[in-house]
Amino acid sequence: MQLADKHIIHMDQDAFFVSVEIKKDNRLAGKAVIIGGLSDRGVVSSCSYEARKFGVHSAMPMRMARQLCPHAIFVKGSMDDYSNYSHQITELLQERVPVLEKASIDEHYIDMTGMDRFFGCMKFAQELRKSIHDQIGLPISFGLSINKTVSKIVTNECKPNGEMEISKPEVQPFLNPLSIKKIPGLGDSTFIKLSEMGVRKIHTLTQIPPDLMFKILGQNGLSLWQKANGIDLSPVVPYREQKSIGKQTTFDSDSMDVAGIKVMLTDMVTKLAFELRQQHKLTACVTVTIRYANFETVTQQAKIPYTSLDSLLIAKAKELFDKVYQKRMLLRLVGVKLSHLVGGYEQISLYGPSEKMYNLYQRMDKIRNLYGTDAVRLATVFPDK
């Protein structure tokens, strides 16, 4: 199939967390709203477009946000609410589209390739957007174009609350005048390096020979050159709600040692949380499984706010274990599974764990990357001497 035959929709919620807060309290509409940790040590998780005009952006220290926009309304936020609305949007889309990829908590890719013979893809995307607005009550923008990269850029250019289609002949005229900052995956250090070379517009980047880009920035340079030229062959990966990671342990001998079993559970969850962070993923569902000595198997699961933090997942796993282990019989197996996975990064300011604790997780992960997953472990997973 030729590249020109692709029809990819990128849908992205407009300031998602803020939009949810406005739905809960419409007095926030049109105001400068900043969501995140309310202490000076917190960080901004999201902000309204009115706040962005003052230079506020996600991941900014809250202290700086207060200085830039002191009149803003500061909200702690609720990941339970954001996760719930994210699930609603995903379920609505899954019911109506042929191929759906959930890229993060607030954005989706839809592959409509081949469906244009039945109905116009732009008209279909408009109907989807209207359904989300009417049924869920949240604003959303979308871009429709020939691949994921161009569609994402199109969406970003028509936000907030916009829609746009860029056909194959229009791709390069659309991309050329834009700043290279608009290219997904182009970080600050790469932007500085290219700017120092005089490359600030996408058109200029397209004029650099690809072998030179490879020489300057390696494989990433070649990838950026392709994106600048409207080339992206990456497929829309179907989203499966049941996608999961898990671990289980069968005991050497059947046991009723609840304290010891919870230590095993803690160790398994810690390793799974590390795996999540390595894959830049978050989970929204924890399942605990036990098997009694008579081989009866019982499970208990719970949906949670999207997270990859050990402390939250361990606490939920232990809570589920207490609920599922009711017969006080000997056990032969315990397992834990994390599912409803999406790509994304921790919004630490919304959860409660301190910035200091999150920094500790990052340091532990670095040690594991260097010396293996067992190089650093929680004290609670070691048996008493």
C-beta contacts of 186-193 below 8 A and 24+ residues apart:
186/224, 190/217, 190/220, 190/224, 193/217
The helix-helix angle for 79-94 and 16-24 (nearest 10°) equals 100
In the residue annotation, 275 being an active-site residue is answered as: no
Token representation of residue 24:
């809960």
Among candidate residues 21, 107, 165, 346, the one labeled active-site is 107
Give the span between the Cα atoms of 108 and 103, in whole angstroms: 5
Token representation of residue 83:
């996760």
Beta strands 73-75 and 140-145 are: unpaired
Query: Where are the alpha helices (H) located in 280-326, listed in sequence order?
Result: 310-324
Backbone angles phi, psi at 11, to 5 degrees: -115, 130
**Site of tokens 């990456």:** 234
**Site of tokens 């509409």:** 29
Does residue 136 contact residue 85 with C-beta atoms inside 8 Å? yes
Does residue 128 contact residue 97 with C-beta atoms inside 8 Å? yes
197 contacts: CB under 8 Å, gap ≥ 6: 216
Amino acid present at 196: E
Give the span between the Cα atoms of 38 and 57, in whole angstroms: 15
Give the span between the Cα atoms of 171 and 154, in whole angstroms: 10
Query: Where are the alpha helices (H) located in 8-147, listed in sequence order?
Result: 16-24, 49-52, 62-68, 79-94, 121-131
Active site residues: 107
